[in-house]
Amino acid sequence: MSEAMEPGPVATGTGAGARRLTPGDLLKLAFVADPQISPDGATIAYVRTVTDGETHEYRSTIWLVPVTGGEGRPFTAGPKADSSPRWSPGGERLAFVSDRSGEKQLWLMERAGGEAYQLTTMRYGATGPVWSPDGRSLAFLSSGAPGDDAALLSRERTAKEKEDEEKARKDRPVTVTRLKYKADDSFGLLDGKYRHLWIVDVPPRSADPIARARPRQLTPGAFDVAEPVWAPDGHRLAFAANCLPDADRHPTVQDIHLVPAAGGETRRLTAGTGTFHAPAWSPDGSRLLCVGHHGEFGLATLDRLWSLEPDTGLLTCLTPDLDLSVGDQAIGDVRFGASATGPVWVEGGSAIIFSASRHGTTQLFRLTVAGGPVRQLTTGQHWIYGFTVDRAGGRAAVGLATPDSPGEVGSVDLAKASLETLTAVNAWLPREVWLARPEEFWFPGAGARPIQGWIMPPVGKAPGRRYPVVLEIHGGPHAMYGPAFFFEFQLLAAEGYGVVYTNPRGSHGYGQEFVHAVVDHYGEGDFADLMAAVDHVTGLDWVDAARLGVTGGSYGGYMTNWIVGHTHRFRAAVTQRSICNWLSFYGVSDIGYYFVERELGATPTSGPERLAQLSPLSYARDVTTPLLILHSEQDMRCPMEQAEQLFILLKALGKETELVRFPGSNHNLSRGGRPLLRVERLRRIIGWFHRYLGTVPGDYVLQEA
C-alpha cells in the first residue's frame, strides 16, 4: 500500500469485507451479457463469461435463470465459447452460437436440456441467429468475399485449408485500393470478406440435422449486413447496412433495407444520408422502428427513435423533444460480449420500450405511439446495458451493473416499473472485498456550465489525513461515465487513492448542445471543465492537492497528453491508447480520415496549422509531469505510432517517461483484452502512481489475489 491504513468504518465500503481489491481479482469476475427472456416470460437465458484458471483464457457458457428468482443453472458447458442464445417463437428450444467444432457455428438445444446439435457448417463461421416467426427457419450472418460460391461458403474448412489460407495470407503482398482498408476489431487489415445475410431451415430433431440443413444466401455484394429482423408474416427481412457504391467516403452512413425471405432484390428504405440501425417490426408489419439520426451535428448527433413505413419510406421521429440519446452510451471496463439494446414494441404496437442514457445512468423508458410524454420506467444509480421483453410485453430481462456489482441479470415489471436483481454471480465481491462508494457532485465548469462528476474516497480513509487523488478521463469523447462498478477505479481506491471522474462537455447524457460543445473545440472548454473538477475536489479536507495524478484512454489519453503539456499541477500521468499527433492520426487510424475533419474541422491539407495546434506533441517541451505510455501493438483506432512519436520526442527532450507495448492487443485491451495482459496493465498503472504519488520507492509489486 502507498500508505499504511486500516480499513476504516464499513461506511467507506459496501460490505463487511476482509481485504482490499487486487489486480488479480479481475480474473475472478464473471461477466454477464445478452439477457434473453423466454416468450412466456418465465425464464431468462444469458451468457456468463469467466477466466479459465488454467489457460487464463475466456470461457463463455449459457445459463438459465427463472424470473421468480432462485438458483440458475448452466444450459451449456465446456471449455469453449457459447454465446447469442435465442429462444424459438414457442420457447421450446434455444439456438446459440458455439465454437466447439472449430469455427463459430449455429447450434440448437431443447429447453429441457439434452445434447446440443450443430445446424451450420459455414466456411467462415455463423453468428447472430434470428428465428423466423413460424420457428421453421433461422436467419444468420456469415462472411465471404464477393463472388464466392454459396455452396463453398456453406462447407466448413478442413485443417489443411485453414493452414493453406493462413500461409497465403502471411506470404502474399497486400495491394490496397480502398480508403477504409483496416479496422480495430479485425486487429489489422480487412481481408476482403463481407458479413452477409443467410437463411437456413431448421429440421425436426433428427439423426443428422446438418445433412438436412441447406443454407441460402440472401445478400451478396461489397457491404456488411447487421441486425436482421423478420417481418411478422415471415416473407421479408429488414436489416441495417451501408450499400452505397462509395461507402468508404460515407463511412457513418447506415440505412434500413428490405429483402424477400425467398431471395430477390434488396430495397433501401432510408435516404442514404443518415445513420439508422436497430430495426424492429410492429406486430402488424405496417411499420418499422429504428434508431438513428441525420447527422446534423456530425459524430455528436443524438440517436433518436423513428417510425419507418416500409412501403413508402416515410420516416417520422417519435422522440423529437427527448434531449437524450436513445440507447446505451455508458462505458466501463467489466463488460464482455454483446447485449441487445434496440427498441421493442409492446401492447400490440401501441407502446414502445427503449433505453436511453441520462446523467451517467442508462434507464428504460416507455413511449406511447399515439402521443404523450416519454415516461422513465426505471430509476436508480445503475447501468442497464441490455434488455429484451417477453411476448406479452409485461416483463423485461436486463443486464444490470451497480456501484458494487460489475453485472447481474435483472427483471423489470414494466407495469409496476419495478426492478429486481435475479442473479448473484459476483456476490463474492462486496462480501470479501472492501469497495469504495462513488459520491456524486455537480460543479460549475467553463462558463458556469453545470458538470456532473463522482469522487471515490480511498478505501480506509481516516479522519485528519490527506490522500493522493487520480483524475480519470473517459474516451469518445461522446461517451459517458456513471456510478456503476469500474474495476480500475476500485483498484485505485483500494491502493489508497481518491478517484475523481466526470462527464465534461462532449459527453452524452446531458442533451444535444452539451454533447456537441466539444466539436471544433478540443483542448478548450473540455480542458477547463476537467481542471474545474480538480479545483472542486482539492477543496475537500482529505485531498492532498500536492499529489495529483491523471489518466485516461483514447480521447481520455489525448486529454491526458494535452493536460501535461498545459499545466504542471499533476505529479504523475498515465496515458493509454492515446493520440498525440492529429496530422498523422488522419492517415493511420481506421477512422482518422473522417473523424479528424468532423471533430476538429480540419484536415492535413485544409488546416495543417490547426491540427498541429491541437496536437499534444507540439507541447512536449513544456511537459514536466512523469508520463507512462501504455499502448496496444494491434491498436488500429489509435495506432502504436502515436505512442512511439510521443515517447521518442519526450525521451529526446530528457523528460521522465516510459513506454509499455502490449502484444496481441487492440484498442479494447482494458475491456476485453487477454486476461493476463489486462491484469498487467492495471499493475503498471498502480506501480507508476505509487512511484510518484505514494510512499513506496521504485516499482511497486502487488501481491497476487
What residues are annotated to the active site? Answer: 554, 667
Q: Is 215 helix (H, G, I), strand (E, B) or coil?
A: coil
DSSP H or E run through 211: helix 209-212
Grid cell in block for residue 81: 465459447
CA distance 319 to 298: 19
Q: Where are the alpha helices (DSSP H) in 451-591?
A: 487-494, 512-516, 525-537, 555-564, 582-588
290 pairs with which residues across the strands?
A: 306
DSSP state at residue 235: S
Task: Name the residue type at position 571.
Answer: R
Q: Is 703 exposed, middle or buried (0-12, 13-18, 19+ CB in 10 A)?
A: exposed
Grid cell in block for residue 204: 425436426
Grid cell in block for residue 65: 435463470
CA distance 456 to 434: 13
Task: Name the residue type at position 45.
Answer: A
Vertex 621, ends 616 and 625: CA angle to 5°?
A: 80
CA distance 327 to 342: 7
Grid cell in block for residue 626: 512523469
Q: How many CB atoms lie within 10 A of CB 191?
A: 13
CA distance 53 to 36: 28
DSSP H or E run through 255: strand 255-260
CA distance 670 to 667: 8
Neighbouring residues of 276: CB distance < 8 A, sequence distance ≥ 6: 240, 254, 255, 256, 270, 290, 291, 292, 293, 306, 308
> How many residues belong to the chain?
705
CA distance 603 to 90: 54
Closest Cα partner for 60 from 71, 70, 68, 51? Answer: 51
CA distance 611 to 630: 23
Q: Is 36 helix (H, G, I), strand (E, B) or coil?
A: strand
503, 481 Cβ separation under 8 angstroms? yes
Task: Name the residue type at position 4.
Answer: A
Residue with cell 478517484: 499
CA distance 537 to 534: 5
CA distance 674 to 577: 16
Q: Is 680 helix (H, G, I), strand (E, B) or coil?
A: helix
474, 482 Cβ separation under 8 angstroms? no
How far apart, in Å, are the Cα atoms of 6 and each of 22, 445, 462?
A: 16, 35, 8
